[in-house]
Structure 1
């Protein structure tokens, strides 16, 4: 159940959301009782598979809570569980679940939600229900139930509010409860949801462990990518420039022999051939250097390099520059080659007629959006071009997102943390200092 963004519609939708949460507190009570019963049965063998089933059921319940609370608060609550051992025995799976801290945090929130959560949602729904009840009661008694015998329905001990005129005296109470529900009801539920985030979200230690694992994986991918690049450079030099230089050496040797034999015309022909071979080798080396770090990046920066790339592209490509400063050279190179790979993929697979590249730099993030009007259906597949882009960006803690429904259009977004180092950044720092 997604919460509306507008404040009024969100408040009006909260009672339904609270009813859903209230039902989950009842499920929590059942799971809590099952957990306590499992604790007794676990001393017997039959209790082990029951314990695994109960633990997994609690995880399903906790994940549902994470989704609901995250939608209410507009946050993402990561799942903190470690990967379970595959093909392990039931006792090993049970031991793994018991040893995991997230299991006990789920259990703690289960106990809280079965008790405090029950009271919180009951109080919220009670205030809302009483306010609505006393607001509509005079109207119902005067219309729908005006001819029916009315028992004592509002017995407060000191007075009976049984007639339509008498129930009108309860309208101020309903309005007060309605105001309290409208003013503080959402804050009350959000407070309880924030309490859930503390239990259901990963701990600082778990986040640090996940971050270290992510950085280790990023480092491994970077090392593999660098090794692959070195092998490519070595292969290109061996198969291209090195072969031409070897042929150049042989040609010049033959020309030298012809000169010793007093055959200058034939020697001149070989020297001309050697000159052409030298030019070809030089061109291949220049192409190789452009593949390592294009000179246009150093001369014109990332935006200028992208504009030069757009001019050479077979499709009409427009570049929207909102960068506003120069970036570190390694980051510019990574962004340049990543964008080039995406444009190459568009040429090969998208059947697009036009492409737009938008470059922005806000809040310490460089964002490059590449949009095309092609057939869509693009995805990050292992070993594919977009997967290579993702691995290239991982070295800079960057991310790649693909929005490509069938039929298009496609938007590929590259996001890289960065700090500008150009004149614009210096002026901003001076302005901030003054």
Structure 2
């Protein structure tokens, strides 16, 4: 992991904020020392029954401390360190304690606890000491010349061999302050970053944990996709049975009645029934076309995702701007998923956003198709179980895709979908 790229102003701000991070880390090292002592005492008491509930409490406290460390280190480095713990076992206290003890993540937390209580204490103390010396001896001449000017004998800088107790004398300590300031500026950030990356190694999930979690996510995505496909098949069957099939059955009866009228030499009445049947046939054809469009739009097969999004923007009741930066052709399953996901988001905007315009930006960079849908509505959108955005998330999870929502109250709302996809030549065009 590495720090995200930033401009000089951001780098300067981050470096000036490091003393605050170090103070926070230093306070956590003190907590680490207390927890380490508690863990050692608990290890001695765990052979007795009274030590079991204490062990559970201490282990949970260590996990809370480790999670605080993950947030502090992640905030300092600009990364996210996920917690690698398994779901907590429910049951007797001895079962809970045994489950946590068996986890490799627990022992990694304990290892970092011991390191942070010793090495972390010294690293942060050294960093803060160098920073404090630089600030103290740079500011001290000014303080002695102003605030403490009328003090008869200020007790400062008593080194045993010489008392720097006046503003003029403390000017001789400015080179020391400058040297500490240069050391802090040059090596302080490197020291804290090195120590923070050591924490990432121990506090972050192992490759095995990441792989296990990934397999679980893929299994869940597969199950959700299978459920979604089964629900879609049931919907298609229901639409065909209740809609087109019933209309065709009625059409057959109408034509049968027309046939009987022709046999009875009643051509005018038969012609009337045939006209009705013709109108019903057109209605059935329209309904079947709508059903087919819901399964796989013809425009998607004919013109690809670009053309399908353009057609979708023209049919939408709001003004929709499409900024198209996608390849000429993508894999059909990816195009279908992107099309229906975008259509679902536009439907949600129409129902809930109270927006006046929508912008869709589609691009393909480094093998990832990204679709960003922005509206100027009221905001407040979120991914709720069973909601439209949750359906989009479940649809894209089958393709290892993600959905991110930024929707503060008052808007604007930005929904960003990312789908891994192979692509070819990129062409840019703007469609209004």
- Give me the TM-score of the superposition, normalised by structure 1: 0.90
Q: 1:125 aligns with which of 123, 128, 151?
A: 128
Whether 2:39 is the aligned partner of 1:35: answer yes
Q: For residue 430 of structure 1, what is the aligned residue in structure 2?
A: none
Q: Match of 1:155, SS?
A: coil
Residue 359 (structure 1) aligned with residue 362 (structure 2): yes
Q: Assess, with a 3 A threshold, how the Cα gap between structure 1 residues 265 and 148 changes in structure 2: closer, same or farther.
A: same
Alignment partner, residue 6 of structure 1 = 10
Moved more, 304-313 or 194-203: 304-313
Q: What is the aligned partner in structure 2 of residue 258 from structure 1? A: 261
- The 3 A distance-change label for structure 1 pair 378 and 169 is closer
Provide the residue aligned with 2:54 in structure 1.
50
Q: How does 1:128-147 map to 2 (within 5 A)?
A: 128-140=131-143, 144=148
List per-residue Cα deviations over 1:234-276 (Å, max 9, x = no partner).
Answer: 1111111211222222233333333333333333333333322
Q: Deviations over 1:192-241 (max 9, x none)?
A: 00000001000000000000000000000100111111111111111112
Q: 292, 299, 304: which is aligned to 1:301?
A: 304
Matched, 1:342 2:383: no
Q: Which residue of 1 aligns with 2:67?
A: 63
Q: 1:235 aligns with which of 235, 238, 246?
A: 238
Q: What is the 5 A alignment of 1:2-401?
A: 6-86=10-90, 88-140=91-143, 144=148, 148-149=152-153, 153-155=157-159, 167-401=170-404
Deviation at 1:385, TM superposition (A): 1.6
Distance 2:59 2:156 in 1: 49
SS in 1 for 2:370: strand
CA 154–315 in structure 1, closer or farther in 2 if over 3 Å, else same: same
- What is the alpha-carbon distance in structure 2 between the residues aligned to residue 138 and residue 412 of structure 1? 56
Q: How far did residue 81 of structure 1 move?
A: 0.9
CA RMSD of aligned residues (A): 2.3
Deviation at 1:5, TM superposition (A): 6.6
Distance (whole Å) between structure 1 residues aligned to residue 190 and residue 329 of structure 2: 45
Q: Between 118-127 and 198-207, report the one with greater CA deviation.
A: 118-127
How far does the alpha carbon of each residue in 1:9-64 deviate from its partner, in whole angstroms, 9 at most, with x for none?
32222222212211111110000000000111111111111111111111111111
Q: CA deviation at 1:411?
A: 1.8
Equivalent-residue separation in structure 1 for 2:22 and 2:314 (angstroms): 57
Are the aligned partners of 2:326 and 2:426 in contact in 1 as well (CA < 8 Å)? Answer: no
Partner of 2:430: none
Q: CA deviation at 1:134?
A: 3.4
Secondary structure at the counterpart of residue 6 of structure 1 = helix
SS at match of 1:339: helix
* Alignment match, 2:3: none
Query: What displacement does 1:74 show?
Result: 0.7
Listed as ranges, the gaps of 5+ residues in structure 2 are 1-5, 428-432
Structure 1: unaligned runs, 5 residues or longer: 426-434
Change (3 A) 1:80 1:268: same
361-370 or 43-52, larger mean C-alpha shift: 361-370
Q: Per the alignment, in what secondary structure is the counterpart of residue 205 of structure 2?
A: coil
Alignment: residue pair count: 420
Equivalent position SS for 1:416: strand
Distance in structure 2 (CA, Å) of the matches to 1:261 and 1:135: 115
State the 1:146 CA deviation: 7.1
| Matched position secondary structure for 2:94 | helix
Separation in structure 1 between the aligned mates of residue 92 and residue 380 of structure 2, nearest angstrom: 41
- Equivalent residue for 2:407, pick from 404, 416, 423: 404
Partners of 2:251 and 2:140 lie apart in 1 by: 102
